[in-house]
Amino acid sequence: MTTHAPAAPAPSSRSLLPPGAPLLPWLALVLLTFLSLFLGEWFHGAAWLPLLVAAILWGKGALVAHHFIESPRAHPFIAWLLRIFIALTPLLLLLTAFFGRPVARLFSL
């Protein structure tokens, strides 16, 4: 007589996340996204808004790199590239927000 191991429970069809996905970082990303949307709607045109959006963008990038791309486990060169990209993206956003016309003139044909 053979015995079978009990069947694994079927994955819940209600879950929005893949199995094993970190729930708290995912929720933080959703909240930061909604915060960005609301801030853009409420404070549209405020001079300080690009600074806040850049900070949120940096935070979201750091969350994604750490929890989903697993940068702490990556080769040091790859982790270094990720840190540069995560820092450079908000800086370029600020550059275009505050110096858009000169930057566009610099890169126009």
Mean pLDDT of the chain: 86
pLDDT the model gives residue 3: 63
> How confident is the model at residue 87, as a pLDDT?
95
Q: Which contacts qualify for 90-95: CB closer than 8 Å, 24 or more apart?
A: 90/54, 90/55, 90/57, 90/58, 90/61, 91/54, 93/50, 93/53, 93/54, 93/57, 94/50, 94/51, 94/54
Is 56 within a domain? yes
Residue 79: inside a domain, yes or no? yes
Q: Is 83 inside a domain boundary?
A: yes
**Structural domain count of the chain:** 1
List the chain pLDDT tens, one digit each, 109 residues.
556 666 655 555 566 666 777 889 999 999 999 999 999 899 988 889 999 999 999 999 999 999 988 899 999 999 999 999 999 999 999 999 999 899 888 888 7
In terms of residue numbers, what domain contains 74?
47-107
Domain membership of residue 25 (yes or no) is no
